[in-house]
Amino acid sequence: MKTLWGKPVAEEIYLRLEEETARYIQSTNHAPYLAVILVGSDPASSSYVSMKEKACDRLGFDHATYRFDESVSEEKLLSLLSKLNDDPKVDGILVQLPLPDHLDAAKILETISPLKDVDGFHPVNVGNLLLGNPSLVSCTPLGILKMLEYYEIETAGKHVVVVGRSNIVGKPIAALLFQKGWDATVTICHSKTRNLRGITSLADILIVAIGQPLLITPDHVKEGAVIIDVGINRIEDAGRARGYRLVGDVDFEHVASKTTAITPVPGGVGVMTVAMLMNNTLQAAKKRRNEAEILA
């Protein structure tokens, strides 16, 4: 059994991005610029946003974080988004999810310019992804692909079972892996799937992103499968100073010995997401600038 750590994969990506960013800044005299919008004070969201800020600083990106109270109006966010869309120095815009219930998340995400949508959540980018066209791709699925490449996990002709149908992970990773080049046969399971373990047991590669701590136990897993665990769940743990610990959607402790390779939580896919956000921001900057040059 091999543990698929995210750190070496993310480090390799950061080294490439450092070089690419330095070249970009030298040739354009502009740093890539990421704008992040954070609503409310959810501790997990705040901690993700601070990881994004640190990653920008490491690479030399410019960035701004717009923080709003939980009660912010939709109009206020929409008007900020249209300002950022029109601002030529802004390359990437990210609205941290989840948003409070009184805000229409779909409407907000659709307001972001598809060219600046570094999360890859805009319907135009999702549509292009499904069609197999170039697009900005959601960061966690892109991180999973980079891990599969780095660890040389073959997907062609393999049966990939995805557990979870979220717009952020389940749908896009499924839609990526059946494209030409990845060539997997993909099954999607979700909360209403009957006989979940019967289906997950058929997986050569099992990708779990459903947000249910320790859902996947040894009887869900075929001997020799590869498991990618995207879940990051806080569960109470009185033995820890902070009162909780992080676990995945997979019961790593009991499942690992049945697999040929498995991602740990924490330390697996999680560290890839921010690296891919930086990648998307730089690609968005390059593309917009190239198009501006072509039009000039």
CA angle 212, 214, 217 (to 5 degrees): 125
Among the options 119, 229, 249, 251, which is catalytic? 119
Looking at 15-23, 92-100, 252-260, 279-287, which segment touches ligand GUN (CB under 6 A)? Answer: 92-100
Q: Phi, psi at residue 158, to the nearest 5°?
A: -80, 155
Residue 39 near ligand GUN by CB under 6 A: no
Query: 179 catalytic, yes or no?
Result: no
DSSP assignment of 20-60, as one string? HHHHHHHHHS---EEEEEEES--HHHHHHHHHHHHHHHHHT
Residue 129 near ligand GUN by CB under 6 A: no
Contacts of 152 (CB under 8 A, 6+ apart): none
Among the options 96, 171, 229, 251, which is catalytic? 96
Residue 168 near ligand GUN by CB under 6 A: yes
In the list 111, 125, 140, 279, the residue contacting ligand GUN (rule: CB under 6 A) is 140
Taking the C-alpha atoms of residue 286 and residue 25, their distance in angstroms, rounded to an integer, is 10
Residue 139 near ligand GUN by CB under 6 A: yes
Query: 54 catalytic, yes or no?
Result: no
A 10 A CB-CB count for 105 gives 15
Taking the C-alpha atoms of residue 64 and residue 89, their distance in angstroms, rounded to an integer, is 12
Task: Tell me the site size for ligand GUN, rule CB under 6 A.
Answer: 9
Query: 69 catalytic, yes or no?
Result: no
In the list 31, 63, 96, 282, the residue contacting ligand GUN (rule: CB under 6 A) is 96
- Kindly state the smallest distance separating residue 235's Cβ from ligand GUN, in Å: 18
Looking at 88-96, 150-158, 195-203, 214-222, which segment touches ligand GUN (CB under 6 A)? Answer: 88-96
Residue type, 118: V
- Kindly state the smallest distance separating residue 95's Cβ from ligand GUN, in Å: 6
Q: Say if residues 276 and 146 touch (Cβ distance below 8 Å).
A: yes
* H or E stretch at 62: strand 62-68
Taking the C-alpha atoms of residue 145 and residue 108, their distance in angstroms, rounded to an integer, is 27
Residue 142 or 196 having the CB closest to ligand GUN = 142
Residue 276 near ligand GUN by CB under 6 A: no
Residue 263 near ligand GUN by CB under 6 A: no
In the list 38, 49, 94, 209, the residue contacting ligand GUN (rule: CB under 6 A) is 94
Looking at 91-99, 191-199, 239-247, 278-286, which segment touches ligand GUN (CB under 6 A)? Answer: 91-99
Taking the C-alpha atoms of residue 88 and residue 134, their distance in angstroms, rounded to an integer, is 22
Tokens of 14: 């950061």
Catalytic residues, which ones?
A: 52, 96, 119
Question: What residues make contact with ligand GUN under the rule CB under 6 A?
Answer: 94-97, 119, 139-140, 168, 273
